[in-house]
Amino acid sequence: DDVRIEVFRYYGTFWRSMITMFEVMFGNWAPPCRILLDEVSEAYGLFFLLYRCIIGFAVLCVIQAVFIQQTMKIAQQDTDFMMQQKRREIRSYVRKLERLFRALDHSGDGYVSWDEFEPLMMNPQMRLLLSTLGLETRDVDELFMLLDDGDGRLSTEEFIEGVQRMKGQAKA
């Protein structure tokens, strides 16, 4: 009879059960667990272990997510971080331009002549690729002249610097 009263004290009504589970979640879980384990069934031991682990991990995950979110927010505002990101973007863009240059350089001599440049610029896929890199190619002759330093052929450096210059002017 004393056991029934003790169990009722912890779990007898909805609100008693809620308060008990709140206590279990935030620290004092041994007495409510022990009363069920010793006096009702040992199966409640498994329930309490699972409950504590699941709630504990869930709370830990929420705290971790909030911490990561705040850290990322602060890091995005950090000037050094933003400059580093911009440098990475530029390096990535240059690598894409180098791959594009190699695609344009059919002869493999490290230079793109007008004869190599013109047919590829008429290709719709190549125009789309240039457009995704931020370059519109309406006038192929003018594009080649803007990129060329006057010798009638484009080196890798001329191509990359010229495209970056044109992209910068397009944004301004």
pLDDT of residue 88: 94
140-168: buried (b, 16+ CB within 10 Å) or exposed (e) per residue? beebbeebbeeeebbbbebbbebbeeeee
Model pLDDT for residues 102-125, shown as the tens digit of each residue: 888 888 888 888 888 888 777 788
Largest Cα separation within the chain, whole Å, is 104
Residue ranges in the chain modelled with pLDDT below 70? 137-139, 168-172
pLDDT of residue 168: 64
pLDDT of residue 172: 42
pLDDT of residue 139: 65
pLDDT of residue 38: 85
pLDDT of residue 68: 92
pLDDT of residue 132: 77
Model pLDDT for residues 130-147, shown as the tens digit of each residue: 777 777 766 677 778 888
